[in-house]
Every structure is written in C-alpha cells, then in structure tokens.
A and B are shown apart, each in its own frame.
Chain A
Amino acid sequence: MDSITTAASVVAAGLAVGLGAIGPGIGQGSAAQGAVEGIARQPEAEGKIRGTLLLSFAFMESLTIYGLVVALVLLFANPFAG
C-alpha cells in the first residue's frame, strides 16, 4: 500500500468515526434525558420506558457501528491496498 492510500485511509477512518458518531451521540443523549425524566415522573412505567429506550438505543447505536466498521475495514482490511 503506497503512502497516499495509507494517508487517505487513515483520514477517511477518522472522518467516518467522528462524523458518524455526532448524530447518534446527540440523539442518544436526548433520548436518555427524556427516559430518565419519564421514569422520574412515572416510576410505575419504568419497565416500558426502559424497553423503548433499549430499542431506540439499539437502532441509534447501529449508525455509530456502521461508521466504526467502515473505519476498521479501511484500517485493517483495506480493499484499496495494492
């Protein structure tokens, strides 16, 4: 792998993780805030709130995982490496 491909892969990996984590991070923060407020207001609905939070977290965090996988593939299993 030549130096230009290596440098581009490293920069792209950093961008993939960094930019890919911004949106899910904001979304997870606001979802967790709403869930904790809901549990504090209605403790009897804790199970349902936690279940819904689990589902939404799993879907949101998969976006982070996509960026992470792209970055790891670029770093450790680069298809552009000659």
Chain B
Amino acid sequence: MIDSPGLCRELRCLVCATTSYYHPLTPIGGMSVVSEIVENCSSHDPLLDIDSSDTSSGVQSNEYLELQFRVFRLTFLLTFFSVGIAGFFLGIQASASLFIGALSGIFYFRLLARGIGRLGTSSKIVGKVQLIVPVMLVLVSSRFPQLDLIPALLGFLLYKPALIIQFLSMP
C-alpha cells in the first residue's frame, strides 16, 4: 500500500523514467541506469513540481486582483463622495439613484474583470453577460418613479474616473 507522498514520488519517477527512455543520449539497460534515474527523480525537479508553477501563476493573478481591488476601492471612495454631494445639493432621491447606479457599475466592472480573467484559460472570448447590468438599471429606473434615470446613469459611470485615476497612477 502506497501513501500519498509515496504515490507522488512514484509518479514523478515514472515521468522521469519515461522522459529518460525517449532521450536519445540515455544508455540502454542496467540497474545503474535505473538507480541513477531514481536518484534524479528523488531530487527536487522544478519542471515536475506543480506547486511551483501554480505559485508563479498565482503571483500574476494576484497582480491582476490587486489592480481590481484598487479600482474597486477608488470607485467606492468616489461613490461615497458623490453620493454625499448629491444628497446635500440635489436631495435624497437623486442620491439614492446615484448610489444604486454606482453599485451596478461596480457589479458590471466585476463581471467584466471576471470575463477578462477567464480569457485564454477557460474561455476564448470575453462574454457579454455584463451588458445585462446597464440594461437592468435603465429598465428599473424607468419602471420605478423613486429612481431618476440620469443620476443612476451617472452613478453607473463612476467606475470610469476611478479607471482614469488608476491608469494615470500606473508606473
């Protein structure tokens, strides 16, 4: 019976043996060759280490996630700032519409970022699911008289100043 680390080691040895078998410079036969292969396999091989490749990919995806979080943070800051100004000058209704529009803009941007994150790995195209968000926002704003259309749309577009600030602050 083989435990889990033992099974991994056996699989690594099998892969090493297979690659060595097809290598043109590998000597044929003999226990010394087998023991050499096993010794090579028991050492740390970065090409066979799945964890190391996952770690480098994780660093890149962390960079992408950090960019998203920075944009989200800026968008939230702009949202609270603009909602406060709208509530002070235009009233509660415009402020609530602006807030709902900003939340839907953040949701739209999250869906867009998820679609771009999947591009090239699990999907060949960037989906258009995120376009449902402005459609629903306009429909809800036109159906409910408590919401104003123009402040909701302006709130929806609040992610763009955050993107511009982020783009200008990029090195």
Which A residues fall within an 8 A CB radius of B? 28, 32, 35-36, 39-40, 43-48, 50-51, 53-55, 57-59, 61-62, 64-65, 68-69, 72-73, 76-77
Contacts of B64 in A (CB 8 A): 46-47, 50-51, 54
In the complex, A55 Cα to B162 Cα: how many Å?
A: 10
Contacts of B67 in A (CB 8 A): 47, 51, 54
Which B residues fall within an 8 A CB radius of A? 56-57, 59-64, 67-68, 109, 112-113, 116-117, 119-120, 125-126, 130-131, 134-135, 138-139, 141-143, 149, 153, 157, 159-160, 163, 166-167
The 5 closest A-B pairs by CB, nearest first: A47-B63, A47-B60, A72-B138, A46-B60, A77-B142
Interface of A is mostly: helix
- A66 CB to nearest B CB, Å: 9
Contacts of A48 in B (CB 8 A): 63
In the complex, A51 Cα to B110 Cα: how many Å?
A: 13
A32-B126, A46-B60, A47-B62 known; A59 and B142 CB under 8 Å?
no
Contacts of B120 in A (CB 8 A): 35-36, 39-40
Task: Give the nearest-CB partner of A76 in chain B.
Answer: B142
